[in-house]
């Protein structure tokens, strides 16, 4: 079975400078081919299992592929990859979670809502009441939506959030033909809180994990249409049903 072929391109003087500390003043070009390849394989040990088969001159190219940089102390060697980057990246060892970048991610805590069509949303006004599904309780599990994507089911315990299980996105059923744009269903949900996570924290979470909240969730509810904020509401109870009364609607320039 053939192996995926990759070629690395670099400038010969830059490669010689990079390898100089290991050559004891010998010229890289003067080494036997087998020793050259062994030296390159040792330098490329960041990619486990990568085997070097040969060295050859390369012609200048108008366009180059993925650029890689090897760094140590104050030295840097630039390499360009000729081949499928996925083949090379698959050889990288998993990065320790503690080294993940502290990129902030927004976690939105939402109650499942209801589908409204575009026509109904267009007529929505302050004072209108949006009823939650029958049987919905204030202490029901929340859907954690990470950067606009359903992520996990969570249970609120005062100022702590317990991760129950990861969210499985249901397959979309074939809908009926829509003859009018006003019939287009738009998912409406209700955000009752939010929190910021970083990649390192996210990588450590699993069912049963607890997240601290800065404070208990208040009574304000953000009304989301397709994950865009449509307005603000407040939680109300109508007999045995929970609902959200619209208190403010945003214009398109504020959404």
pLDDT tens per residue, range 83-104: 777 777 777 777 666 666 678 8
Residue 38 to residue 44: CA distance in whole angstroms: 10
Please measure the distance between the N-terminal and C-terminal CA atoms of the chain and give it in whole angstroms: 55
Are 188 and 115 in contact, with CB atoms under 8 Å apart?
yes
Q: Is the pLDDT of residue 215 over 60?
A: yes
Measure Cα distances from 172 to 90, 169, 175, 177, 185 in Å.
31, 9, 8, 14, 13
Residue 61 to residue 71: CA distance in whole angstroms: 24
Q: What are phi and psi of 181, to 5 degrees?
A: -60, -30
Strands 129-131 and 142-146: unpaired
Domains within the chain, CATH numbers bracketed = 7-91 (no CATH), 104-168+181-249 (2.30.330.10)
User: Mean pLDDT across the stretch 175-203?
Assistant: 76
pLDDT in tens, 161-177: 999 998 775 544 444 55
Which of 45-49, 107-111, 137-141 has the lowest average pLDDT? 45-49
Residue 179 is predicted with a pLDDT of 52
Alpha helices for 20-61 (secondary structure H): 33-43
Q: For the beta carbon of residue 161, count every other beta carbon within 10 angstroms.
A: 23
Q: What are phi and psi of 110, to 5 degrees?
A: -130, 150
Q: Is the pLDDT of residue 231 over 90?
A: yes
- Looking at residue 39, the DSSP 8-state letter turns out to be H
Residue 212 to residue 208: CA distance in whole angstroms: 13
- Looking at residue 148, the DSSP 8-state letter turns out to be T
pLDDT in tens, 140-152: 899 999 998 899 9
What are the DSSP E strand ranges found in 32-147?
67-72, 75-82, 104-117, 129-131, 142-146
SS3 percent helix, strand, coil of the chain, rounded to 5, is 20, 40, 45
């Amino acid at each position: 079975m053939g192996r995926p072929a990759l070629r690395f391109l670099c400038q010969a003087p830059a490669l010689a400078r990079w390898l100089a500390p290991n050559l004891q003043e010998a010229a890289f070009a003067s080494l036997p081919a087998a020793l050259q390849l062994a030296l390159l394989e040792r330098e490329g040990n960041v990619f486990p299992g990568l085997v070097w088969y040969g060295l050859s001159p390369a012609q200048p190219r108008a366009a180059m592929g993925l650029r890689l940089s090897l760094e140590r102390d104050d030295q840097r060697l630039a390499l360009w990859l000729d081949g499928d980057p996925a083949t090379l990246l698959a050889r990288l060892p998993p990065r320790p979670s503690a080294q993940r970048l502290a990129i902030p991610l927004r976690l939105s805590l939402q109650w499942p809502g209801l589908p409204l069509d575009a026509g109904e949303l267009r007529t929505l006004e302050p004072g209108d009441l949006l009823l939650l599904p029958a049987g919905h309780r204030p202490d029901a599990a929340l859907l954690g939506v990470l950067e606009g994507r359903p992520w996990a089911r969570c249970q609120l315990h005062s100022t702590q959030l317990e991760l129950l299980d990861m969210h499985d996105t249901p397959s979309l059923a074939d809908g009926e033909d829509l003859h009018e744009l006003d019939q287009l269903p738009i998912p409406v949900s209700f955000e009752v809180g939010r929190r910021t996570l970083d990649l390192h924290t996210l990588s450590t979470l699993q069912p049963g994990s607890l997240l601290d909240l800065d404070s208990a969730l208040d009574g304000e509810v953000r009304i989301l249409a397709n994950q865009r904020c449509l307005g603000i509401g407040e939680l109300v109870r109508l007999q045995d049903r929970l609902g959200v009364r619209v208190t403010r609607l945003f214009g398109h320039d504020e959404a």
